[in-house]
Structure 1
Amino acid sequence: MKKLIGLAAAFTLASSIAAFAFEPSNTECIAPANPGGGWDFTCRQVGKTMQDLGLIPGTMQVTNLAGGGGGVAYAEVANKRNDDNNLIVAASSATATRLAQGAFPGNTMDQMRWVGAVGADYGIIAVAADSDVETLSELMDMIKADPTSVSVAGGSAVGGWDHLKVLLAAREAGIEDVRQIKYVAFDGGGEAVTQLLAGSVQAFTGDASEAKGFVDSGDIKVIAVLSPERLEGDFADFPTAKEQGIDVIGANWRGFYAPGGMSDDAYAFWTDAVAKTYASDEWKAVMAQNGLAPLDMTGDAFEAFVAESIASITDLSKQIGLIK
């Protein structure tokens, strides 16, 4: 029986790969941050699902390459691995934000091939489990009373998506000069939460997927989800910012880019693999367990979406005064 199952799995993989001239081997996903954050989550969960579905041979290697809010990985791929057909890189709204603000010196979105999205991750604001702060309104009142008394940690660089989410919430809460907000940048959500638990900062801004593990472990409590209504499942107990009178929505798309010099055959393979992963029951279960909202697009449609995201974030950054 085991032999038959093994043969069936091998046939599924062979049939999947045979549809493309490109045959993957030694596949790799770069997470442009330290372990524990959203990019790390994206690489590991999608890689595992692709393996379970027989879309790739063996296990996908996950490489954590932190630095520069994703800039180190972006430059590495652009300059040294531009024609690697077996490589994909986790990306998100944070990637679009950094590109919009010119934070990857010498790099632009057209240096990469944009593969596809696997969902959207709503932003959250959290505090340590033993914090006296219970609501987002209380946190914003503390900032209004004394902006120097509250530091907020996030896994993106200053001006990045995690930073922008806090500024948007602060602006909606009535804080006129959002530049007063003390934001501390770390390479990934895991490192930011570590500093929160150490007492170095008073709050954390991240995404639902990266926060869930820390909620489950009892380390943090989510005081606001930046979604239009409460999320389902395990996240149903987390209040939205909107229901607390702070009408702000922050959705972080999650997906992948690939080296700009990737062959058309390899690109077709990866866009198809991402599409099949998203459509699977296995990935739908991952989405439900981790608070991911639907967002399904690949190839040209995804590239156009990223371009539009960059344009929108550029306008927002100018409005808030982060760029000229």
Structure 2
Amino acid sequence: MIRKSPLLALVLACSAFAANAGPLDKTECIAPAKPGGGFDLTCKLAQSALLDGKYIADPMRVTYMPGGIGAVAYNSVIAQRPDEGNTIVAFSGGSLLNLAQGKFGRYNENDVRWLAAIGADFGAVIVAENSPFKSLKELIAAVKADPTKVVFGAGGTVGSQDWMKAALVAKAAGIDPKTMRFVAFEGGGEASTALQGGHIQVYSGDASEAQQQAKAGSKIRVLAVMADKRLPGDLANVPTAKEQGIDIEWPIIRGFYMGPKVSDADFKVWSDTFKKMMATPEYAKLRADRGLFPFDMVGAEADAYAKKRVGEYRKLAQDFGLAVAK
């Protein structure tokens, strides 16, 4: 009888583990920012849902790669980690907008594999509770009549998502967005305070943020949500912009991409897992707890959507006279 040495047994065991290791082993989610904020929330949502649903055996590792509003992570994954089948990277609608404007350097939307959209927020047009504007149509009529009397504000500079939302309202009123009165704040909290103080008349923010502010007692009124249909929950009575005759949608999706050389087999395992996970009531609760609305998409559908959206943002930026990626 031949006896195996302890060392040989260890080598064989490690080889067997390596052979059986798959994309859902030793998983990692890269958040392209510092801890806290939307990218961290996106990774933590996947981390909780995958572990709670027993799709992974060990907790997903969340690592932080800040820089360039997502550009550092994007470039790093493409150039240095293109084939890692167990690594996913968080992205948002803002990432797609930045890609469209050339803010991610030499790479574009075709240089990664867009894996999944796992939820979304939506743009919202918000005024103070005592505002004379009771509908989006009334607001647009006022902007059209005298653009100088309506001041927009948001947590973002020219070209940002919040600026884009205000610009779309201005465009609907028939004025050049570059001529609208717009005040940029550090964040949504400052903009909301300025709104209630009468320093601005309109806040182009997010639906989930408005929902939380209303719950906290802020005296605001949501004139419209920029979604394709009415949102569930506390905002169910708020009409969409489209319902009011204004063709504006602004989904702020959250999801993941993978490196460009990840195998089709690994990509399919992730796609199938996310699809199964997002169909459960447990996931719906986790998503709602984080202020996100349903927007579920995986695999080829998610990849096509992300690329299409970047193209739409590129055209929009051109229309508004902003720099775009070539």
Q: Give the match for residue 314 of structure 1.
A: 314
User: TM (normalized to structure 1)?
Assistant: 0.73
In structure 2, how many angstroms separate the alpha carbons of the residues matched to 1:272 and 1:193?
Answer: 36
- In 2: Cα distance, 1:209 partner to 1:86 partner: 31
- Change in CA separation of 1:154 and 1:270 when aligned onto 2, cut-off 3 Å: farther
| 1:79-105 Cα deviation digits (max 9, x unpaired) | 454454443222233222222222222
In the alignment, structure 1 segments of 5+ residues that lack a partner are 1-17
Distance between the aligned counterparts of 2:259 and 2:104, measured in 1?
16
Residue in 2 that maps onto 1:199? 194
Q: CA deviation at 1:255?
A: 1.9
With 246-255 and 276-285 compared, the bigger mean Cα shift is at 246-255
What is the CA-CA distance between 1:256 and the residue it aligns to? 0.9
For 1:64 and 1:138, locate their aligned partners in 2 and report how far apart those are by CA, in whole Å. Answer: 44
Task: Say whether the 8 Å CA contact 1:120–1:254 is kept in structure 2.
Answer: yes
Q: Tell me, yes or no, if the aligned pair for 1:33 and 1:70 is still in contact at 8 Å.
A: no
Q: CA deviation at 1:257?
A: 0.7
What's the % identity of the aligned pairs? 33
Cα deviation digits, residues 228-247 of structure 1 (max 9, x gap) = 44222222133433455544
- Say yes or no: does 1:272 pair with 2:272: yes
Return the TM-score normalized by structure 2. Answer: 0.73
Report the alpha carbon displacement of residue 249 of structure 1 after superposing the two structures with TM: 2.3
1:30-179 alignment to 2 at 5 Å? Answer: 30-32=31-33, 35-37=36-38, 39-63=39-63, 65-127=65-127, 136=136, 141=142, 145=146, 147=148, 150-154=151-155, 158-172=158-172, 174-179=173-178
Aligned partners of 2:34, 2:223: CA distance in 1, in Å? 25
Which residue does the alignment assign to 1:22?
Answer: 23
CA offsets 1:44-98 (integer angstroms, 9 cap, x no match): 2232111211122343344555554432432343345445444322223322222
Aligned residues between the structures: 299
Listed one character per residue, the Cα deviations across residues 252-294 of structure 1 (whole Å, up to 9, x for unaligned) are 3332112334455543332233222222222233456646244
Query: Which segment drifts farther, 222-231 or 283-292?
Result: 283-292
| 1:245-324 map, 5 Å | 246-287=246-287, 290=291, 292-298=293-299, 300-323=300-323
Cα distance per residue 1:21-43 (max 9 Å; x no partner): 33421522415477344x44332
- C-alpha separation between the residues in 2 aligned to 1:182 and 1:119? 32
Higher-Rg member (1/2): 2
Q: For residue 193 of structure 1, report the CA deviation from its aligned partner.
A: 1.5
CA contact (8 A) 1:30 1:89 kept: yes
Which stretches in structure 2 are left out of the alignment for 5+ residues?
Answer: 1-18
Counterpart CA distance in 2 for 1:263 and 1:50 is 21
Counterpart of 2:194 in 1: which secondary structure?
coil
Deviations 1:169-228 (A, max 9, x none): 2211x1411112355668xxxx62232255397454343345443443334733321124
Give the 3 Å change call, closer, same or farther, for CA 169–142 of structure 1 in structure 2: closer
Which one-letter code corresponds to 1:105 in the other structure?
A: G
Aligned to 1:240: 240
> Would the aligned equivalents of 2:124 and 2:204 in 1 still touch at CA under 8 Å?
yes
CA distance in 1, matches of 2:86, 2:287: 25
- Please tell me whether the aligned partners of residues 112 and 260 of structure 1 are also in contact (alpha carbons under 8 angstroms): yes
Match in the other structure for 1:7: none
Supply the distance in 1 between the matched residues of 2:56 and 2:103 (Cα, whole angstroms). Answer: 33
**CA drift at 1:115:** 0.9
Query: Given residue 310 of structure 2, which amino acid in structure 1 is its aligned partner?
Result: I
- Shift in CA distance, 286/181, structure 1 to aligned 2, threshold 3 Å: farther
Distance 1:182 1:40 in 2: 33
| 2: CA distance, partners of 1:218 / 1:161 | 26
Name the CA distance, whole Å, in 1 between partners of 2:139 and 2:162.
16
**CA distance in 2 between partners of 1:185 and 1:276 (Å):** 41
